[in-house]
Amino acid sequence: MKRWQFWLGVLVSAIFLYPALRGLHLHEVWMYLRHAKYGWIVPGVAVYFVGVWLRTWRWHYMLRPLKHIPLRVLFPVVCIGYFGNNVYPARAGEVLRAYVLKRKSDIPMSASLATILVERIFDGLVMLLFVFLALPFAPSLAGYRQFITLLSLAFFLALGIFFWAAVQPQRVQRVYRWFADRLIPQSFREKADGMVERFLEGIHFLRRPQDVIMIFLTSVLIWLAETVKYWFVMHAFSFHVPFIVLMLMNGIVNLATTLPAAPGYVGTFDTPGIAVLVAFGVDKDLAAGYTWVLHAALWLPITLLGAYYMWLEHLRWEDIERAELQLTE
42-89 pLDDT per residue, tens: 999 999 999 999 999 999 999 998 999 999 999 999 999 999 999 887
The number of beta carbons lying within 10 Å of the beta carbon of residue 142 is 10
Alpha carbon 101 to its chain's center: 18
pLDDT at residue 298 greater than cutoff 60: yes
How much is the pTM?
A: 0.89
- In tens, the pLDDT along 160-170 reads 898 898 889 88
Quickly state the pLDDT bin for 2 (edges 50, 70, 90): low
Quickly state the pLDDT bin for 329 (edges 50, 70, 90): low
Query: When comparing pLDDT for 131 and 191, which is higher?
Result: 131
- In tens, the pLDDT along 192-226 reads 888 888 888 888 888 889 999 999 999 999 999 99
Alpha-carbon Rg for the chain, nearest whole angstrom, is 21
What DSSP assignment string belongs to 43-73?
Answer: HHHHHHHHHHHHHHHHHHHHHTTT----HHH
- Phi-psi domain of 261 (left: phi exceeds 0; alpha: psi -120 through 50; beta: other): beta
pLDDT cut 70: percent of the chain above it: 94
Quote the pLDDT of residue 192.
Answer: 84
**3-state SS string for 176-203:** HHHHHHHHCCHHHHHHHHHHHHHHHHHC
Instruction: Look at the chain and report how many structural domains it folds into.
Output: 1
Contacts (Cβ under 8 Å, ≥6 apart) of 315: 80, 96, 100
Rounded CA gap, 141 and 5, in Å? Answer: 30
pLDDT at residue 143 greater than cutoff 70: no
**Domain residue limits at 230:** 3-326
- Best-predicted range by mean pLDDT among 13-27, 161-175, 256-270, 274-288? 274-288
